[in-house]
Amino acid sequence: MGDDLEETNRRERRPVFERTERLADDSFYRALASSERRRVLYLLLDKEQYTIERLATALTGWDATDSETMRTPADYEQRRIRLVHADLPFLVEADLIRYDVTRGTVHLESLDPVVRDLIEASIETERRQRG
């Protein structure tokens, strides 16, 4: 028992770059370069699984709130298409999500707490800047 606790403490004291291999992967930074993709990840932090339709609806609503304008069905459809053909492939390539094309569902992969904190901090900073 004591050895397990000691090993856990030793792991927690290691520098971030040793604990999180993802931080050395260029695809990780490409995936996070877009505020739209960071928003997808932020939503998945809370609910770990979404259908494409619900994700597109949530993101379209987020856009409407930010711009203080109404969104149309065409806006939703554009957002859904961008998700399927641009944003989700980036996130899959970075091993941040799993996308089940057959079921139309998106699942968050297991994330290191450092990555979770980075996503949350990014969104909170975005909100403060807009706000």
DSSP state of 83: I
CA distance 17 to 38: 21
**Cα–Cα distance measured from residue 77 to residue 57, given in angstroms and rounded to the nearest whole number:** 9
Distance CA(36)–CA(42), nearest Å, equals 10
Question: What does the pLDDT read at residue 48?
Answer: 83
Per-residue confidence (pLDDT) for residue 86, from 0 to 100: 96
The more confident residue out of 27 and 52 is 52
Contacts 24+ apart (CB under 8 A), 58-65: 59/83
Q: Which CATH class is domain 34-130?
A: mainly alpha
CA distance 105 to 50: 6
Which pTM was predicted?
A: 0.80
Distance between CA atoms of residues 6 and 106, nearest Å: 36
Q: What residue segments make up the domains of the chain, in order of their start?
A: 34-130
Cα–Cα distances in Å, from 53 out to 76, 80, 114, 119?
9, 7, 29, 22
- Tens of pLDDT, residue by residue over 30-46, are 999 999 999 999 999 99
Length of the chain (residues):
131
Rounded to whole angstroms, the Cα distance separating 70 from 56 reads 15
Radius of gyration, alpha carbons of the chain? 17
Q: For 46-96, how does the pLDDT look when each residue is reduced to its tens digit (9 = 90+)?
A: 998 999 999 999 999 998 887 778 888 999 999 999 999 999 999 999 999
Q: Is the pLDDT of residue 16 over 50?
A: no
